[in-house]
Amino acid sequence: MKKIMISTGGGDAPGLNAVIYAVVHACYRKGWEVYGSRSGYKGFLDRDEMCRLRTEDVEDIYATGGTILGSTNKGNPFEMPVENYAGEVKVVDISEKILDNFNRMGFDCHIAIGGDGSLEIAERFSRMGMPVIGIPKTIDNDLEATDRTFGFDTAVSTATEALDKLHSTAKSHDRVMVVEVMGRDSGWIALYSGISGGADVLLIPEIPFDMEKVCAKIMDNELHGKNYAIIVVAEGAVAAGGEVISKGGGEVGRSELLLGGVGEWVAKEVRERTGKDTRSLVLGHLQRGGSPTTFDRLLAMRFGAAAVRLVEKGTFGHMVALKSPHMGSVPLADAVKSRKKVNVNSDKVYTARDIGVCLGD
């Protein structure tokens, strides 16, 4: 008999519940017990924040968005802000306490479902001796060690559907619509949705953009009788020689930095330089919501089942990873080393260029 703890950390992504479903079912068939820790590591600190997960507790959840366990991107146990009675906030390291509780409660493994930040935390616990298995989650698809993360396909579908809808209103009003999508320092969501959603201009962090080139494309559209345009801009895209636009909260390159604002900045520049009626919108957290696509459900369930197989083999300190068509694993230490960027010399980028999409360069 084994006792497993699952946690979901960082920003949520469609497919989290499908992973939980698969882990609970795969463990049940082996006669193992599964517990969930609410909001990241809370269940490791407080029994009220820990719940037993039986098959009946996860019935049908695979089709739902969000996470039944809750999540947080402010729960790093190595740097936890704690307020004392005087209202002063101190940053403390509570990792030893968490490890101690985990061992005392008799857990055999912690399955940590997370993106870059949460997996870095899991890797630190693994180095301290906690048996950990990581599962890669993020709509940004920016983990180098796996071909895909679950959540990405759903986010891209949502963004593509939004672009489809924007075409008609942009055309009716002869407008330029600028759509800001998520993705942090990687342009995956922008690239996939921009090509599939018929964008005229596609701006990604991997290619610094020039507003002259962007505006030239819009004016070229006009010359050819197309009086509207759709611009897709990734939240981390940067003008050549410019800086990342953010709302603060952390350093550039860190997951705490709250990105946002580049879409409005591009819209303002287009308006001033071309005189075109221009509007911007931020798709934001819509991309993280909703029921996971079939692709994401299946990938999430494959990850969950593969994680349980790793527990059985005792391959701790690893993250499950898709290396198509195979499901494998990589050491957590390697998994958190680098972020996956769009290769600017790859087929999808060539496709965008070949079909006339301006990439701002």
Rounded to whole angstroms, how far apart are CA atoms 345 and 352? 11
Of 34 and 69, which has the nearer Cβ to ligand F6P? 69
Choosing from 116, 140, 142, 200, the catalytic residue is 140
Q: Residues interacting with ligand F6P, by CB under 6 A?
A: 11, 73, 115, 138-140, 182-184, 235, 259, 288
Q: Is 140 designated active site? A: yes
Whole-angstrom Cα Rg for the chain: 22
Of 11 and 136, which has the nearer Cβ to ligand F6P? 11
Residue nearest to ligand F6P (CB): 182
Of 37 and 255, which has the nearer Cβ to ligand F6P? 255
Per DSSP, the three-state class of 12 is coil
Q: Are 324 and 147 in contact (CB under 8 A)?
A: yes
CB atoms within 10 A of CB 98: 23
CB atoms within 10 A of CB 291: 16
Amino acid letter, residue 250: G
| Locus of tokens 């989290």 | 16
Is the link from the previous residue into 325 a cis peptide, with omega within 30 of 0?
Answer: yes
Of 5 and 189, which has the nearer Cβ to ligand F6P? 189
The tokens for 4 are 């497993």
Q: Are 317 and 38 in contact (CB under 8 A)?
A: no
- Report, as residue numbers or ranges, the catalytic residues: 140
